[in-house]
Amino acid sequence: MHVVLIGPPGFGKGTQARHFAERLGIPSISSGDLFRAHFRDGTLLGRQAKKYMDSGALVPDHITMAMVKARIAAEDAAAGFLLDGFPRNVHQAVLLDGMLAVQGRRLDHVLALKVSTTEVERRLAGRRACQSCNLVVNVNFAPPRVSGACDTCGGRLIRREGDRERIIRRRLAACTERTAPLLVRYAALGILANVDAVGPVEDVRARILAAVPALAGAGA
């Protein structure tokens, strides 16, 4: 089974990826893990990627996809894989299809986890930080026992609208913009399933299974 999971960071995508990969007996491959492994082993691809990142540039697709190519050729990926976080754009998707076709393989399912802008704003609006211990909580999802006070140390919870919020907004907007053409492409191929990613992990998991029953694996 060859699966691609697309969605913004920070909404349990990694958790779902690991769950379904384990269920299907295939490796879950995230771009973060892939890059970290190459940095750790000091590979040529890793050193090349680092040069771009250190200069604040995006790592070119051919470097990322060379890492993917090597990873999916590994023995544990012979029966398939679940890609978490790429392809990131249509160019990478075309490269991926090419490398799979050479091996007589193709993608079976592309799962797009969707998060509405309203929901993102609700989450951001609920974020509070403790003035004393810096613990970050979300009063919309896990209200403190005493309103306005930190559960851990009793310190005052304040709203800190700063870099982090701006980064999250910018990242989500960029993700939506970047993945839109990708979703059009996979929809045209008839392998795209859209799933609402907002809610408890178990609920999202159930929605994923309802959308793509094949992800239940052989055991179910």
Which residues are annotated as catalytic? 13, 88, 127, 160, 171
CB of 151 to Zn ion, least distance (A): 8
Of residues 59, 130, 195, 208, which one binds Zn ion by CB under 5 A? 130
11: number of CA atoms within 13 Å, CB side?
28
Of residues 101, 133, 167, 210, which one binds Zn ion by CB under 5 A? 133
**CA separation for the pair 97, 107 (Å, rounded):** 8
Instruction: Please say which residue, 130 or 192, places its beta carbon nearer to Zn ion.
Output: 130
Encoded one letter per residue, x for contact with Zn ion by CB under 5 A and - for no contact, window 77-96 reads: --------------------
Instruction: Please say which residue, 154 or 181, places its beta carbon nearer to Zn ion.
Output: 154
CB of 127 to Zn ion, least distance (A): 14
**CA separation for the pair 115, 118 (Å, rounded):** 8
Secondary element (H or E) of residue 164? helix 163-188
Of residues 79, 146, 152, 180, which one binds Zn ion by CB under 5 A? 152
Alpha-helical regions (H) of 25-76: 31-41, 44-54, 61-72
Is 170 within 8 Å of 120 (Cβ atoms)?
Answer: no
